[in-house]
Structure 1
């Protein structure tokens, strides 16, 4: 049965516009259809080869993926996170563990659910708006005004959780935040 449907489509292979007679047509011609099919087959072979290479590079990973209980070392290999990070998560009480002598074991489903949880909005810091250049110091201005080295200043900014604003090639910090740290009052515009 023949239809008179004419649909404007874009070929998935050559990206040219063409008129199709069915809603399922994906390619503009037999040549593009063949090339598209071959590229899909080629990509699946590449993906399969990459997967085999990954397995060959780390055969331990395939053994770990099927286990229900993991050691800290195995969990770090599986998730690509350091052992120390896992111990920090455990010490904060965010992950349940079992101890067998000196060995620490984690349930795989607990780790999967921990990393699949969306971030709680209360954990995220609210972003502060840029207060404007007149209400900010550059890093150099802070160093000169308070006689502090760059390393000590950056350490102080990081430790206090002060927001830095990058504008162009300069980093700015709000005057109020710096003045509070150094116990001075803001004298308006300087």
Structure 2
């Protein structure tokens, strides 16, 4: 049911007079409505950006003053991370802090600087075995060139980190650890990569290859089925079976006018068809 209300109003966007049909209409057209809210959204984004810039400048100004004790926000700016990361460091005692009044946390600048001067807990040139394999648990390796990092493997295999870990775990590839990074043995990784890049054969190609190998061994009449026996076995027309057998290169021999086909190949094909529900 349409409204019979007619009210003269001024458009909030183009400031032109128009006749509105409701008491809350602000715009004369859909275009004016869209332009208005687009301008409002743009202004809000600009205002938010300016506030962030002002806050960042204020923090930088505070950081320029060599204060001995920093807040969580100032520490986050100094380390180039989020405040949540700083709270996490404090929780796991990776960063020393003092909590005043429950929510007033201060961190000493020198403690942060000392973190960069402290020696690494696990030297980069020492690799410790973490999984059973060719290397002994107590053996240490100093040649990092014999191993791939996870990032390198992701590029080589074009797979995600999870897929790499899963595939390498199934292949039982030996891995090592340097600090928090995991590395995989290069020789075994290259072998797995070659296998991964090999073109996959279809079932038909595999069957043709197996039948070619079988035909090279030679056939005897006692090792074969007649075509009539194949018709009874598969329950299909004779001409259709000839097409199926020829396409799969089923080994065959001639006994006068009769064609005999390899029992091994026919039995394998029968099992395949039965499994796929074709017979």
Scaled by the length of structure 2, the TM-score of the pair is 0.28
Name which one, 1 or 2, has greater alpha-carbon Rg.
2
